[in-house]
């Protein structure tokens, strides 16, 4: 009898369990539908991708990171002073679906013997990478040896060994640096933490983020420089989208002006603008002129984030008399501490060589820690200034 009673209980419980699971499933579906509807109505509060250059974390970029480390170790372990190493250029390159950063480095050498010996050291260090990496020597102008590094047949580095201490001219005894923090407006704690740094950073805010307007208000209140981080069409659109408030090549002139106006209203008090993504849009002369002329009309400035080496934005801006400048280094396209240190050293080196340089970082805790670590050094050896002081 007890057995039958137990068996009967199970029969009664099973339908109840099934009904409970059914109602739970329906509830989940309803909640997901409500959430999706809310996201669509609000324009979507999901944080957009950071600069498109980060979306290509391929074997090529891993090889480049290893090459960077090897070059740095070869330089400093063989007694080359930091002041004799200059990063002349860092720029994005695109080929066959690959995106990478090409670096041009100048090393001052005391004599020809030192230069030839250092070339051998670099060649030996890089030979450990095997057949995927090649080093090609070029005889440059008198007093220079040029080494080109290729990873998987992609040109990644140009190393110029300058003999007899041919040092680039430095425009200022204390070089100037400006640092922009991009992609603000989608995180609360991390975004706001950058206000705690005692550095005159430039805050670049995306339109329509959940914290866009509160970040803008905070920047105005603290007297920090504020600019619009304008989303623009990347080459791999629509598989990668720049986010709400984007400018696209398909837009007519009036639509571009309308979207730009609405975005600037979102970031009230913006003194200028830089592009978010935009590897396609910033290569288009006609569309960029519409944007740049509108900025000029509003007495704003423009910073080219340079997500493509073929950008026409800076030349066009200067051609119409719009104050403008360009990004030299992305500080945090790789969050490994060693990689970030290399990027910061590149920025400092470029500033020493050129007299000024602009770096761009993003709202990561690692970027905050990097700036906190380098703050005292920058304040001592450089002038860190608002980006508006470097546009011309």
pLDDT digits (tens, 9 = 90+) for 113-122: 888 888 888 8
Who has greater pLDDT, 270 or 172? 270
pLDDT of 231 reads 98
pLDDT at 14: 52
pLDDT tens by residue, 272-296: 999 999 999 999 999 999 999 999 9
Q: Where are the beta strands (DSSP E) in the chain?
A: 85-95, 98-109, 133-139, 144-151, 154-163, 176-184, 202-205, 225-232, 272-277, 301-304, 324-326, 329-330, 356-361, 383-384
Mean pLDDT taken over the chain: 84
Q: Is the pLDDT of residue 33 over 50?
A: no
Query: Of the ranges 98-107, 195-204, 374-383, which one carries the lowest mean pLDDT score?
Result: 98-107
pLDDT higher than 70, residue 27: no
User: How many other C-beta atoms can be found within 10 angstroms of the C-beta atom of residue 147?
Assistant: 22
CA distance 286 to 275: 16
Instruction: Identify the CA nearest to 248 among candidates 202, 281, 199, 210.
Output: 281
Lowest pLDDT segment from 104-108, 247-251, 266-270, 385-389: 104-108
Unique residue bearing structure tokens 């980060």: 54
DSSP 168-226: PP-S-SS-EEEEEEEEETS-SHHHHHGGGSSS--EEEE-TT-TTHHHHHHHHHHHT-EE
Cα–Cα distance for residue pair 195/199, rounded to 1 Å: 8
Left (φ > 0), alpha (ψ -120 to 50) or beta: where does 17 sit? alpha
The partner residues of 357 in beta bridges, in order of sequence, read 177
pLDDT, tens only, 119-163: 888 888 888 888 778 888 876 777 788 889 988 888 999 999 888
Average pLDDT value for residue range 362-381:
96
- The domain segmentation of the chain, as residue ranges, is 53-163, 176-389
pLDDT of 209: 96
Banded pLDDT at 9 (limits 50, 70, 90)? very low
Q: Tell me: pLDDT of 214 over 50.
A: yes
pLDDT at 40 over 70: no
**CATH label, 53-163, candidates 3.30.460, 3.40.50, 3.40.30, 3.30.720:** 3.30.460
DSSP 3-state of 245: coil
Residue with tokens 């074997």, as numbered in its chain: 59
pLDDT digits (tens, 9 = 90+) for 223-240: 999 999 999 999 989 999
Give CA–CA dist 260/342, Å, rounded: 35
Element (H, E) at 260: helix 253-266
pLDDT (mean) for 261-271: 97
Topology of the domain comprising 176-389: TIM Barrel (3.20.20)
User: Bigger pLDDT: 7 or 217?
Assistant: 217
SS3 content of the chain, % helix, strand, coil (to 5): 45, 25, 30
With contact defined as beta carbons under 8 Å apart, do 334 and 120 qualify? no
Residue 203 region, left (φ>0) first, then alpha (ψ -120 to 50), else beta?
beta
CA–CA dist 40, 188 (Å, integer): 21
């Amino acid at each position: 009898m007890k057995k039958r009673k137990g068996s009967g209980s199970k029969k009664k419980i099973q339908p109840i369990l099934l009904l409970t699971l059914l109602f739970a499933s329906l509830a989940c579906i309803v909640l997901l539908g409500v959430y999706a509807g809310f996201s669509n109505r609000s324009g979507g509060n999901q944080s957009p991708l950071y600069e498109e250059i980060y979306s290509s974390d391929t074997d090529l970029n891993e090889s480049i990171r290893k090459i960077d480390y090897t070059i740095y170790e070869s330089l400093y372990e063989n007694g080359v002073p930091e002041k004799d190493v200059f990063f002349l250029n860092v720029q994005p390159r695109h080929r066959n679906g690959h995106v990478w950063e090409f670096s041009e480095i100048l090393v001052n050498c005391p004599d020809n013997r030192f230069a030839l010996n250092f070339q051998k050291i670099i060649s030996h260090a890089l030979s450990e990478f095997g057949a995927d990496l090649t080093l090609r020597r070029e005889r440059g102008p008198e007093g220079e040896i040029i080494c080109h590094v290729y990873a998987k047949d992609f040109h990644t580095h140009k190393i110029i060994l300058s003999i007899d201490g041919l040092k680039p001219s430095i425009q200022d005894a204390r070089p100037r640096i400006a640092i922009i923090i991009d992609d603000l407006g989608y995180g609360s704690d991390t975004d706001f933490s950058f206000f705690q740094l005692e550095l005159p950073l430039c805050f670049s805010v995306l339109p329509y983020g959940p914290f866009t307007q509160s970040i803008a208000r905070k920047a105005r209140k603290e007297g920090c420089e504020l600019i619009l981080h304008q989303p623009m069409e990347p080459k791999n659109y629509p598989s990668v989208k720049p986010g709400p408030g984007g400018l696209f090549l398909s837009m007519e002139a009036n639509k571009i002006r309308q979207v730009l106006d609405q975005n600037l209203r979102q970031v009230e008090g913006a003194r200028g603008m830089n592009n978010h993504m935009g590897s396609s849009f910033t290569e288009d002369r006609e569309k960029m002129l519409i944007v740049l002329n509108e900025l000029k009309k509003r007495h704003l400035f423009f910073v080219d984030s340079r997500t493509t080496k073929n950008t026409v934005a800076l030349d066009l801006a200067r051609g119409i008399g719009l104050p403008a400048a360009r990004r030299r280094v992305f500080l945090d396209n790789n969050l490994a501490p060693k990689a970030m240190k290399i990027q910061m050293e590149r920025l400092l080196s470029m500033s020493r060589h050129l007299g000024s340089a602009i770096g761009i970082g993003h709202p990561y805790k690692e970027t905050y820690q990097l700036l906190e670590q380098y703050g005292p050094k920058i304040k001592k050896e450089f002038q860190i200034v608002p980006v508006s002081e470097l546009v011309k």
